[in-house]
Amino acid sequence: MDEINVKTILSGVQPTGILTIGNYIGAIQNWKLLENEYKCIYPIVDLHSLTVRQDPKQFKDLCISMLAQYLACGLDAKKNILFFQSHVRQHTELAWLLSCHTYLGELSRMTQFKEKSEKHRDNINAGLFTYPILQAADILLYQACKVPVGEDQKQHLELARDIAIRFNNIYGKTFVVPEPHVPQMGARIMSLQEPSNKMSKSDTNINGTIFLLDSDKVTLKKIKRAVTDNKNRISYNDNQLGIKNLMTIYMTLTKESIREIEEKYTDKGYGAFKNDLAEIVVENLRPVREKYAELMDNKDYLVSIYKDGAEKAGEIAENTMKKVRDNIGLIK
């Protein structure tokens, strides 16, 4: 069993919109590199999204859309377990048991809770507060050893580790203690309008964000309008954050080195560079958009993927839960 555990990777994304080129470069492209080496489990964490009020009809569409986006980006459903968190009931069962082993003080230190309660002042619900416990359950349920997450989720992962260690100390070894996974291509894509901020799918300034399903025309327009500076020099440095960000996108999509890109554009200005970059982005995203449209036209196939995923995930989850229930003293 440990042999299997050592090789499990797990990460979750909330179904709250369309993935950005930041998610694609920073997360999904890296996940693809792992699929042959690890057992990869990617729940679409629908229950987490309910900490913010969702329109029920729209939410169903968002969830299906997220699954189609994963597949359209090239995640292979045969090699990765893709499913909806809510379809594997053990997530919420474990979350309760873990909540009895988590302190209020720990939860009140979470910066995401502080930020989100600022943002949603009219709906500071208990779920928002206990959100990291459900996240810990997602991870510990599958005995994941590595969790690919961005900077902002490191604190939640640290808490998941603390809970796992505490539980193991009280009841004997029950959970693998997870570690963050630092991706090989660790690029962080910034907003095209405010290059000191991360590009994010929930950013209200949509001109700063390239969504995977943006049309060619929209992508072109967003790149042309991307904030740069007046140096008109293609150089990768911290005094030219806008151009640095565009070069990062260029580099990760073409696999050319920064040096090669700088040389290629020594005698050229921002206009030419932006035109070429737009073409590269458009060429990369077009197949994703086409595949997405095809998938959304084939709902039966999507249903078969998430059902199969939930079945596989459910088996692993139940194995862990048997051990947890027994260790904690619940009668079989």
Reference 317, options 160, 107, 93; nearest CA is 93
Q: Which is nearer to ligand ATP, 30 or 320 (CB)?
A: 30
Site string for ligand LTN, 19-58 (x = CB under 6 A): --------------------------x--x----------
Q: Is 12 in the site for ligand LTN (CB under 6 A)?
A: yes
Cα distances (angstroms) measured from residue 256 to each of 171, 249, 251, 274, 285: 51, 11, 5, 16, 18
Q: Is 198 in the site for ligand ATP (CB under 6 A)?
A: yes
Shortest CB 266 distance to ligand LTN, Å: 39
**198 counts as catalytic:** yes
Q: Is 74 in the site for ligand ATP (CB under 6 A)?
A: no
Q: Which is nearer to ligand LTN, 51 or 193 (CB)?
A: 51
Reference 115, options 162, 150, 154, 152; nearest CA is 152
- What burial class does residue 99 get, using C-beta atoms within 10 Å of its C-beta: 0-12 exposed, 13-18 middle, 19+ buried? middle
Q: Which is nearer to ligand ATP, 90 or 248 (CB)?
A: 248
**For ligand ATP, which residue has the nearest CB?**
26
Q: Which does 39 bind (CB under 5 to 8 A by kind): ligand LTN, ligand ATP, none?
A: none
The residue length of the chain stands at 332
Shortest CB 139 distance to ligand LTN, Å: 5
Which stretch, 11-19, 203-211, 245-253, 287-295, contacts ligand LTN (CB under 6 A)? 11-19
Q: Is 88 in the site for ligand LTN (CB under 6 A)?
A: no
Q: How far apart are CA 210 and CA 120, in angstroms?
A: 25
Contact criterion met (CB below 8 Å) for 280 and 109: no
In DSSP notation, 214-248 reads --HHHHHHHHHT----SS-----STT-HHHHHHHH
Q: How far apart are CA 290 and CA 246, in angstroms?
A: 24
Q: Which does 202 bind (CB under 5 to 8 A by kind): ligand LTN, ligand ATP, none?
A: ligand ATP
Q: Which does 23 bind (CB under 5 to 8 A by kind): ligand ATP, ligand LTN, none?
A: ligand ATP
Reduced to 3 states (helix: H, G, I; strand: E, B; else coil), residue 21 is: helix
Q: Which does 200 bind (CB under 5 to 8 A by kind): ligand LTN, ligand ATP, none?
A: ligand ATP
Q: Which is nearer to ligand LTN, 14 or 209 (CB)?
A: 14
Q: How far apart are the first and last CA of the chain?
A: 22
Phi, then psi, of 2 in degrees rounded to 5: -60, -35
- What burial class does residue 105 get, using C-beta atoms within 10 Å of its C-beta: 0-12 exposed, 13-18 middle, 19+ buried? exposed
Shortest CB 21 distance to ligand ATP, Å: 8
Tokens of 192: 């095209």
Q: Is 148 in the site for ligand ATP (CB under 6 A)?
A: yes
Shortest CB 159 distance to ligand ATP, Å: 16
**201 counts as catalytic:** yes
- What burial class does residue 114 get, using C-beta atoms within 10 Å of its C-beta: 0-12 exposed, 13-18 middle, 19+ buried? exposed
**78 counts as catalytic:** no
Figure out which of the listed residues 92, 111, 202, 205 binds ligand ATP, where binding follows CB under 6 A.
202
Which stretch, 6-14, 216-224, 238-246, 298-306, contacts ligand ATP (CB under 6 A)? 6-14
- What burial class does residue 205 get, using C-beta atoms within 10 Å of its C-beta: 0-12 exposed, 13-18 middle, 19+ buried? exposed
Contacts to ligand ATP by CB under 6 A: 11, 13-14, 16, 20, 22-23, 25-27, 148-150, 188-189, 198-202
Contacts to ligand LTN by CB under 6 A: 10-12, 14, 45, 48, 135, 138-139, 147, 149, 153, 156
Active site residues: 116, 198, 201
